[in-house]
Amino acid sequence: MQARNLNLAVGAFVLLGLLALLFMALQVSNLGARGAGSTYELKAYFDNIGGLKPRAAVRSAGVVVGRVRQIQFDDQQYQALVLLDMDARYQFPKDTSAKILTSGLLGDNYVGLEPGGDTEMLKAADRIRMTQSAVVLENLISQFLYNKATEPAAAPGTARK
């Protein structure tokens, strides 16, 4: 009887652990429950979105104010069109700028908004005009290596500046 109770306790503990892992996986992948509030859509064009994915956070001052709904390629402008679902509680001026940023050194990409000073606010279906593309680490490394390769070689016995 005591062995049966021990088996039930261990089984319950393992089940709770699996549920906790499922919860954490949903939170990390941004697939958890959506907020119940209403949203409005904004558009932004970027030359390079890096590793930005749908459901990525849209943040302003570190606070999540929306989510990336969809990413498309605009074959007229040859840019990535990013559709943002913004929480209706948060309004931003017309001259707001958008950047694609990274959480930490190797973290997920997200859209960062910097509000401007305009008195008129963005409305549903408006476009954010000022955007800054993602910084791609591979491009920075290749640019650094190219610059080093094109530097003139230092003569033997002299120090390089």
**Contact indicator for 74, 45 with CB cutoff of 8 Å:** yes
**Count of alpha carbons within 13 angstroms of residue 101, beta-carbon side:** 15
- What share of the chain has pLDDT > 90, as a percent? 58
Q: What is the pLDDT of residues 88-115, one digit of tens each?
A: 999 999 999 999 999 877 788 999 999 9
Q: What does the mean pLDDT of the chain come to? A: 88
Query: Mean pLDDT, to the nearest integer, of 67-94?
Result: 96
Report the C-alpha gap between 66 and 86 in whole angstroms. 4
Query: For the chain, where are the E strands, in sequence order?
Result: 39-46, 57-60, 63-74, 79-87, 97-102, 109-114, 126-128, 130-132
Cβ atoms 131, 45 nearer than 8 A: yes
pLDDT of residue 80 exceeding 80, the answer is yes
Q: What is the pLDDT of residue 144?
A: 83
d(CA 145, CA 42): 38
